[in-house]
Chain A
Amino acid sequence: MNTNTLAAGVVGFLLGGLTVSIAAELEGDGPAPTHGASNHQSVDR
């Protein structure tokens, strides 16, 4: 196998790992936003 292909695979793997870890980090920060629903609490006036 071509070295450049393997090197590209290694770089891709590192970037993939970074992406997944950042996603996991963000996921752990709080509840994920949901479509059509607001996290803002309503305030009675």
Chain B
Amino acid sequence: MHPRNSMAANATLHCLTGCAIGEILGLMIGTALGLSNTATIALAVGLAFLFGYALSTLPLIQAGLGFFAALGVVFAADTLSIATMELVDNVVMAAIPGAMDAGLVNPVFWVGMMIALTAAFIAAFPVNRYLIDKGKGHALTHQYHRDDDHPQPRDGDAARSQNEHHDHG
């Protein structure tokens, strides 16, 4: 596999994991409480962004970055990817007949979640690949990772200084 495709796949999986945790939690809570579809989707999207950002921020903080500096990098790197995933995930979930209204003990809910998350991965992969090609997206956070288990700043002060001058838009 092309190294950038591999990097994009890893970035997408990383985003998707955080998104999935929040999304599943949101849909479970919404479904269990019998919330409306709109309220359930809003809850799921909110939690997906929260967990998605958290999953990316924590390794950077462990790598020695300050909380707000880490948050700034993650906002710039993950927002488009998470937004794409959430859009596709919820549209697919809403499009599957009965999936949003299915209870937690209904297999349609779980099959729907699997289909929606797979579609989200497929949709977000080219987005991450594009961002990496542009030197954005996970390319921004990648410099702080030696690997996923032991994130380290590649070049402490230089990276931090470079980071402060990044356009976070």
* A-to-B contact residues, CB < 8 Å: 2-4, 6-7, 10, 13-14, 17-18, 20-22, 24-25
Contact = CB atoms under 8 A, between A and B. Distances in A.
Interface stretch (B14-22, B92-100, B154-162): B14-22
Contacts of B109: 17, 21
Contact of B24 (A13, A20, A24, A25): A13
Interface in B5-20: 10, 13-14, 16-17, 20
Interface of B: 10, 13-14, 16-17, 20-21, 24, 55, 104-107, 109-111, 113-114, 117, 148-149
A14 B114 contact: yes
B13 A2 contact: no
A28 to B, nearest CB: 8
A17 B110 contact: yes
Nearest to B110: A18
